Amino acid sequence: MPDTRLPLLLEASDLRQRLGREGVLIVDLSQAQVHQQYHIPGAVHLDYGRIISHQPPTVGLLPDAAHLAATFSSLGIRPDSHVVAYDEEGGGKAARFLWTLEVCGHAQGSLLNGGLHAWLSEDHPITNLPREVSGSDFKVELNGHALADQAYVLSHLGRADVAIVDARSPAEYRGEDVRTRRGGHIPGAVNIEWTRVHDHRRHLRLKSEDDLHHIFQAAGITPEKQIITYCQSHHRSALIYFTLKYLGYPRVKGYPGSWSDWGNSADTPIET
């Protein structure tokens, strides 16, 4: 029977016990050359570029439903699949993939805590053999509960019950590192750089729940608020989105396009 008891954040030792288990699909978003060299046994590779689209100068947008349905079908994702995602960079790409699945109506997913770094650090098995994939007929059922766009953010600026988290670097947030037509940040946003949730002593796993709660609550990011996360393209901020969901925050949205959308628009308000 499919395993439906996996937690949102999955440890390497727990995944090892489930290798080959029916209903568990492992998806590797590492770079292709890394996957070809070594990956978790049974993992299927997914190029990160297949789950984002660009409309220059805006990047990191959500592809259309037909494209996403074809992509997820090619991975063999079925309604009863529990997807475990990982990457080689600390979870940003894997978290964006899980967020995309959620937006498309598939909420059964876990992030491998620490990704490939943590897996290798504990000498779990690896292989370079490709997995044979049986396709599926994935049906996209788009929902908006996890999705924010520019209009949504504009309509919620200044509200006491809304908190906006900017996951970029402090230099980007302050408008010193400018990667769009205009630099700065969304008015009222607080800066929590995405790497602050990493425990570098534990191979890029997330920090303890207590430490994570302290980081967010000290910045005024509390569970009763509607939270919106963004970065440059909703890559880094996808890990912040995931972390807040893991901590039990009930209302969290990701902003695809993020600052590449906001900072390249002529009439959106900014702060520096």
Q: Which residues are catalytic, by number?
A: 231
Amino acid at 48: Y
Buried b (16+ CB within 10 A) or exposed e, 174-206: eeeeeebeebbbbebbebbbbebbbbeeebbbb
**Cis status, amide bond into 223, omega within 30 of 0:** no
DSSP 225-258: SEEEEESSSSSHHHHHHHHHHHTT-S-EEE-TTH
Can you list the alpha helix ranges (DSSP code H) found in the chain?
A: 12-16, 32-37, 65-75, 92-103, 115-121, 150-155, 170-174, 209-218, 236-246, 258-262
